A and B are shown apart, each in its own frame.
Chain A
Amino acid sequence: MLASRKFYIAGFIASLFLAGIVSFYASSSPDGLEKVAGDIGFIETAKDHTNADGTLADYGVKGIENERASVGVAGVIGVIGTAVVAGVAFKLIARKPKKDGN
């Protein structure tokens, strides 16, 4: 059995690797919903995203021209951001109120 520390570090590094490096090789074909919407015709009803011009829109960093770097950095930011938000949220949720009121 892996020690907790090693297990979580391995999982986090694997996630960084997938989002930061492997993501560049992901398929850029439309996903299932987009494809169905395009084939049937209701894709026309989609509106541009409110943050379509945001710094990280569509998993790319605005200003980084190199595509590999752009998606990779966006992925790394996403992994770290998710880790912070989910880490804090689940820590708070799991906290058990102490019996003595502290």
Chain B
Amino acid sequence: MHIPDGFIDVPTSAVFAGLAAAGVATALKGARTQLDEKTAPLAGLTAVFIFAVQMLNFPVAAGTSGHLLGGALAAVLVGPWAATLALTVVLLMQGFLFADGGLTAIGLNVFNMGVIGVWAGYGTFLLLRKFLPKNKSSIALAAAIGGLLSVPAAAVGFTIQYAIGATATFSTSTVLSAMVGTHVLIGIGEALITGLTVSAVLASRSDLVYGWKNNTQKLEIRNAS
């Protein structure tokens, strides 16, 4: 999912770098109000864990692999704003130190994985949480399905960038169906890792989990009114 230099032309990459920067700036503002001294270390650990797990490509089909993107996972653990920031740190480390993801493509990659992936995953999570029973297994399940959808959503993000500024001339619809088809499969791995990780953190430190705390807080307000 890390776009190299060259796939997307420079003007389009620059526009998406601007959009990504706006997303990161908004996330910085949001994270300031969401994070406190108690939850900040979990945001750091989330970035570290995502970096580590992104190294673990798993096979999905003949000759194809995928790895965790982590947007939904991070959003459920530390909230969507801190999630965008955690993903941005990971992508910057990968792009600058490990030559993974082109330097002119950093904006494209932050936009797809750090903004689209986070919000597609978190939006799905919120929607499902509304309808599922209020317990920890539901939170893990909703996070997993959020993870599942976040991967093809990020793949659609790439396809939009391809449609606007590809240096190649293959049809967008061909790219769209291939990208979504492949990334739905990768999404299954994303769902498993996201669900298991959220379960593990809920089992050991549920008081730190944003998507769980937030849930119980809402319930309290409703009961009080």
Beta-carbon contact of B93 and A82 below 8 Å? yes
Q: Are B63 and A50 in contact (CB under 8 A)?
A: no
Q: Are A51 and B99 in contact (CB under 8 A)?
A: yes
Q: Give the number of residue pairs across the A-B interface with Cβ within 8 Å.
A: 220
**In chain B, what residue has the closest Cβ to A36?**
B178
User: In which size bucket is the chain A interface?
Assistant: 35 or more
Contact at B43–A86, with CB atoms within 8 Å?
Answer: yes
B184's nearest neighbour on chain A, judged by CB, is A32
* Residue in A30, A44, A52, A96 whose CB lies within 8 Å of B99: A52
Q: Establish whether residues B1 and A26, one from each chain, have CB atoms under 8 Å apart when the complex forms.
A: no
Main secondary structure of the interface of A (DSSP, over half): helix
Asked whether B97 lies within 8 Å of A40 as measured between CB atoms, the reply is no
Q: Pick the contact of B57 from A16, A28, A77, A85 — CB < 8 Å?
A: A28
Q: Quick check: is B18 within 8 A (CB to CB) of the other chain?
A: no
Chain B neighbourhood of A79, CB < 8 A: 48, 51-52
Asked if B1 contacts A31 (CB within 8 A), the reply is yes
A75 → B minimal CB distance (Å): 6
Chain B: interface residue total (CB-CB under 8 A): 71
Establish whether residues A59 and B49, one from each chain, have CB atoms under 8 Å apart when the complex forms: no
Given A32-B66, A52-B99, A86-B48, decide whether A46 and B36 contact each other with a Cβ distance below 8 A: no
Complex Cα distance A77/B102, Å? 20
B86 interface contact, C-beta 8 A:
yes
Given A19-B55, A46-B4, A79-B52, answer yes or no on A93-B85 (Cβ-Cβ < 8 Å).
yes
Q: Does the CB pair B103–A49 fall under 8 Å?
A: yes
A6's nearest neighbour on chain B, judged by CB, is B204
Report yes or no: A93 in contact with B35, Cβ–Cβ below 8 A: yes
Question: Measured between C-beta atoms, what is the minimum distance from B5 to chain A in Å?
Answer: 4
Chain A hits for B5, CB < 8 A: 46-50
Contacts of A27 in B (CB 8 A): 57-59, 65
Report the minimum CB–CB distance from B95 to chain A (whole Å): 8
Contact with A along B161-177 (1 / 0, CB 8 A): 01000111010001100
B90 within 8 A of A: yes
Q: Is the CB of A18 within 8 A of B45?
A: no
Measured CA separation A14–B197 after assembly (Å): 11
C-alpha gap A89/B162 in the complex (Å): 32
Q: Which of B174, B179, B207 is within 8 Å of A32, CB to CB?
A: B179
Q: Are A23 and B48 in contact (CB under 8 A)?
A: no
Write out, one digit per residue, whether chain A residues 38-65 have a CB within 8 A of any chain B CB (1) or not (0).
0111101111111110101111000000
Whether B53 lies near A18 (C-beta < 8 A) is yes
B51/A94 in contact, CB under 8 A: no
Set B40, B65, B96, B178: member contacting A94, Cβ < 8 A: B40
11 contacts between A and B (CB under 8 A): A11-B48, A15-B49, A26-B58, A31-B1, A32-B1, A40-B175, A50-B103, A54-B99, A57-B99, A83-B44, A86-B47
4 smallest CB-CB distances across A and B, nearest first, come from A42-B168, A94-B40, A47-B6, A86-B47
Chain A residues with a Cβ under 8 A of chain B = 1-2, 4, 7-8, 10-12, 14-16, 18-19, 22-23, 26-33, 35-37, 39-42, 44-52, 54, 56-59, 71, 74-75, 77-79, 81-83, 85-87, 89-91, 93-96
